[in-house]
A and B are shown apart, each in its own frame.
Chain A
Amino acid sequence: GQSLEQPSEVTAVEGAIVQINCTYQTSGFYGLSWYQQHDGGAPTFLSYNALDGLEETGRFSSFLSRSDSYGYLLLQELQMKDSASYFCAVRPPGGGFKTIFGAGTRLFVKA
């Protein structure tokens, strides 16, 4: 089976750096995606890691280690607007166009 685990909540201070982890138990997948969702809004794509290592996009970076069954999203210079839910997701091979999402991590950014 496929499952993704994320912390349910993370709290950090404005201007700080926060790391949201995603551990997975899956027989294999193509890559790891991250999505952001504000309250009342739709999920929006942040990043995709096909290979092990760090992908950087502005203040956000995402990391994947297949050998450790682990990935994370790193948010730097936190802003109040970063308060949202963050989901990791994988697409297992042979699953057609099926994407499995983690349960999401609620990030609270405090002033």
Chain B
Amino acid sequence: DTAVSQTPKYLVTQMGNDKSIKCEQNLGHDTMYWYKQDSKKFLKIMFSYNNKELIINETVPNRFSPKSPDKAHLNLHINSLELGDSAVYFCASSQDKGSYDEQYFGPGTRLTVT
């Protein structure tokens, strides 16, 4: 009965490769997010989707392409991986209640680019 799930949990790959991370939420939320957390634990939003529509794209390189096939899923595809992409990527979801902001995070995907 996991609320927000991500796969894979760990991802080790070489520079230049293309990889995808999948996210699913079973909470019935209408908004989903991708965050990047660096080695200093700084948590920065990358994208947010509301009802499958892209709302926020926070100056992320276009090598990163999110895709939301439905409200319960938000995937992240990364092309031409670089060393600087190494980080933990968190998916999150929330129910739009106006200003109220309570987000549920997935377990994270630790990406290591060598």
Residues on the A chain within 8 Å of B98, using CB: 30
Residue in B40, B101, B104, B106 whose beta carbon sits within 8 Å of that of A99 in the complex = B101
With contacts A31-B100, A45-B102 taken as known, whether A99 is within 8 angstroms of B41 at the C-beta atoms is no
Verify if A48 is at the interface (C-beta below 8 Å from B): yes
A42-B56 in contact (CB<8A)? no
- CB-nearest residue of chain B to A37: B41
Count residues of A near B (Cβ-Cβ below 8 Å): 26
**28 A-B pairs (CB sep. < 8 Å):** A30-B100, A31-B99, A35-B103, A41-B108, A42-B90, A42-B106, A42-B107, A43-B43, A43-B92, A43-B105, A45-B104, A48-B102, A50-B100, A89-B101, A91-B99, A93-B99, A95-B56, A96-B48, A97-B50, A97-B56, A97-B96, A98-B45, A99-B33, A99-B103, A101-B42, A101-B43, A103-B40, A104-B42
- Chain B interface (Cβ < 8 Å from any Cβ of A): 31, 33, 40-45, 48, 50, 55-56, 58, 90, 92, 94, 96, 98-108
Distance between Cα atoms of A87 and B50 in the complex (Å) = 24
Besides A33-B101, A43-B92, 20 more A-B contacts (Cβ < 8 Å) are A30-B100, A41-B107, A42-B90, A42-B106, A43-B90, A48-B101, A50-B99, A91-B101, A93-B99, A95-B56, A96-B48, A96-B55, A97-B33, A97-B48, A97-B55, A97-B94, A98-B56, A99-B33, A101-B42, A103-B42
Give the Cβ gap from B11 to chain A, nearest Cβ, in Å. Answer: 15
Residues of A within 8 A of B (CB): 30-31, 33, 35, 37, 41-45, 48, 50, 85, 87, 89, 91, 93, 95-101, 103-104
For the residues of A in contact with B, the DSSP-based class is loop
